[in-house]
Amino acid sequence: GITALGVLERDINEDVMLTWSYPAITQTMGQVLVGRCGLDDKKLSDAYRWSKLGSTWHYMMTAPVKNNKHPRVNAVCIACLSDQFNPEKFKALLLVLLKMYTSEPSGTPLLKAYLTLFRTAEVGGWADRKFDNRRALIAGSIKSVVKAFGPSCVLLWSAMLLKKRIFVYAESVAELLPVVRVLPLFGSWHRQNWGLLRPFVGLTAPELKDLTSASVYVAGCTDSRCSSKTEYFDLFVDVTTAKITIPEHAKVGMAVTGFHKSLASTIVKAADKETDQGIIKVIALKTKELIAVVKQVQAQSASAPAGMERFLADVAVAEGLTS
């Protein structure tokens, strides 16, 4: 469940610091939280945001502070660290924790809250049991992503299926997170692995190092310089312009076959008449059919359709089907 709580404060000199945490948050995680929390934005837009570093998810919510006891602090961010992916669940919890903090701006109410959560998994009307972590996997809108990118969304499917490294760029966190969270629904639903998401990252050394050690990931970024970091991605998704590009080094491995083209039109058609769950099913079924073909080719009971040899061999490697 919840592994730590933290408080980040912004003072009147615009300095942002991690001022309290329990249990103690590591220095690296603290640095990354300072960069990702959003307190550097004067307007505090996109107050709720979430991301991941290593194996730890962090959910963060900012709010302005007007408290006479703390005249030097003008904004705060409460951070909740967890080993679980569920943005809706932790948003509800952070609203409760933020209320506690604003009524008494110190670590004391949060320490009490943490200990209560540790014991009972509920606090201030919030209860863990009211949320289903499996629902979080399908809570986003895959339909809106298909509508935005059209037939080129088949590149998302291919990259996810082949375990490629993906960078997603958007101008704001609010545009970024809904796209990043649904990408595992393209081509890798059968793996149920949302842990490869790094929904919002900066370009600092510890964050890039985390990507390198993850080796397969979907990383979201709002810093436009990320497009030049081609050594870190095999696919670049620009949400702002709705364009998907493949860097030179990845072109061979991301080549499009006849199967891709027919799947692209199937997905686009599904987005016209199906619900989000309907689209997820269509993609999952087509992926399953393709993997069945890969298994036949691997067992030498069938030969690869023309022009698909390389692609099927790559799928076999990604699926761990090679002997």
Per-residue pLDDT 10s for the chain (323 aa) are: 999 999 999 999 999 999 999 999 999 999 999 999 999 998 998 999 999 999 999 999 999 998 777 789 999 999 999 999 999 999 999 999 999 998 888 899 999 999 999 999 999 999 999 999 999 999 999 999 999 999 999 999 999 999 999 999 999 999 999 999 999 999 999 999 999 999 999 999 999 999 999 999 999 999 999 999 999 999 999 999 999 999 999 999 999 999 999 999 999 999 999 999 999 999 999 999 999 999 999 988 888 888 899 999 999 999 999 87
In the block, tokens 């003008």 appear at 74
Q: Whose CA is closest to 284, among 176, 144, 175, 184?
A: 184
In whole angstroms, what is the distance from residue 243 CA to residue 71 CA? 46
Contact in structure between 217 and 165 (CB atoms under 8 Å): yes
What is the rounded distance in angstroms from the CA atom of residue 170 to the CA atom of residue 141?
A: 17
H or E element at residue 145? helix 142-149
Answer whether 189's CB lies under 8 Å from 287's CB. Answer: yes
Instruction: Count CB neighbours of 91 within 10 A.
Output: 16
Which of 16, 12, 15, 34 is CA-nearest to residue 25?
34
245, 167 contact by CB (below 8 A):
no
Torsion of CA 269, 275, 277, 280, to 10 degrees: 20
| Amino acid 71: pLDDT | 84
Asked whether the beta carbons of 321 and 296 are under 8 A apart, the reply is no
Residue 103: predicted pLDDT: 87
- pLDDT of amino acid 27: 96
